[in-house]
Amino acid sequence: MATMTDVARRAGVSVATVSHVLNNTRPVRPATREAVRTAIEELGYTHNTLARSLVTSRTKSIGLVVSAISNPYFTEIFQGVEGGTLADGYSLLTADPHDTPEHELRTVRLLHERRVDGVIVAPSPEPAAMLDYLERAKLPAVFLDRLVGDGYDQVCAENEEPMARLVTHLADLGHSRIALIAGIPGLSTTTERLAGYREGLRRAGLPYAPELVVGGNSSAEGAEQAAHRLLARTEPPTALVTANNAMTIGALRALRTARRAVPDDMALACFDDFSWADLFTPRLTAIAQPSRDIGAAAVRLLLDRLADPDRAPRTLRLPCTFVHRGSCGCAD
């Protein structure tokens, strides 16, 4: 079993410096702190020593790791998490992992060093390093919005059926070339919404055309570029589905630049409702996710895990709502 002395030797620092890094009792230069963290991970010291001390000493604090907190969807999730933690007397520490594996691991590790009792994470497309760290550290965790596989506590919205409903609705209005601007590859939300899109086409008796599915990287900028590529096709789509609210904004920018009116020139339906979707002209037909409920459910899952570490892991899927407005081409 590795000791603090082993960590100090591996990092090339004193035992006192290792203690300061672990306990945040004195400022340590960033390069030195990183060397100590690397030695801790390589030797498994966090798993054998720090994690054991955390189990016996609760801090009544929870870490939240979510990218793009300015996104209205994640803002509402944050509100649900915050409300749940405060109601149970917990404080909340937040960090933005920027949807990259490196930042994700770093933010989880920093929160762990600050002795949070557990973390709630919206995982990146490649969460393996973070999952390995959580396992070694024995740090309780709940995943929200994006799933990471069996064996974990996690909560998300339904994705496939709501997306299929958007596609069949557009097909029922007479559209046969329905495009999708998809999110970041590797995320469960992207995979499931693409599956829902294909299922909607199948139900409508329409063929799947790969050229009508373009990646928008879950961002407004990516979706704007994707929409321009779709519009530039010899036979462009007549209807468009966007897979999150940021990409809806990007698609609308592209349509405005190309002087394509919604819904006359392009029908539009989007996954993710947001507070000002009702203010657009036309108003946006959308799938509304239960964002605050997702956040609150994640807190409840984590508190249940803290109360009973040996309980079986649970996956919760919350239903969405179809919000019918005018951007699809129906009377608003």
Residue 28 pLDDT greater than 50, yes or no: yes
Residues of the chain with CATH 1.10.260.40: 1-55
pLDDT on residue 331: 77
Nearest-CA neighbor of 189 among 99, 111, 252, 98? 99
Question: Under CATH, to which class is 1-55 assigned?
Answer: mainly alpha
Residues of the chain with CATH 3.40.50.2300: 160-289
Residue 318 pLDDT greater than 80, yes or no: yes
Residue 37's pLDDT band (cuts 50, 70, 90): confident
Q: Which fold has domain 160-289?
A: Rossmann fold (3.40.50)
- For the residues 316-327, what does the mean pLDDT come to? 96
Residue 250 pLDDT greater than 90, yes or no: yes
Q: What's the mean per-residue pLDDT of the chain?
A: 90
Which stretch of 275-279, 283-287, 289-293 has the lowest confidence by average pLDDT?
A: 275-279
Per-residue three-class SS string for the chain: CCCHHHHHHHHCCCHHHHHHHHHCCCCCCHHHHHHHHHHHHHHCHHHHHHHHHHHCCCCCEEEEECCCCCCHHHHHHHHHHHHHHHHCCCEEEEECCCCCHHHHHHHHHHHHHCCCCEEEECCCCCCHHHHHHHHHHCCCEEEECCCCCCCCEEEEECCHHHHHHHHHHHHHCCCCCEEEEECCCCCHHHHHHHHHHHHHHHHHCCCCCHHHEEECCCCHHHHHHHHHHHHCCCCCCCEEEECCHHHHHHHHHHHHHCCCCCCCCCEEEEECCCCCHHHCCCCCEEEECCHHHHHHHHHHHHHHHHHCCCCCCCEEEECCEEECCCCCCCCC
Has this prediction a pTM greater than 0.85?
no
Residue 57's pLDDT band (cuts 50, 70, 90): low
- For the residues 234-253, what does the mean pLDDT come to? 96
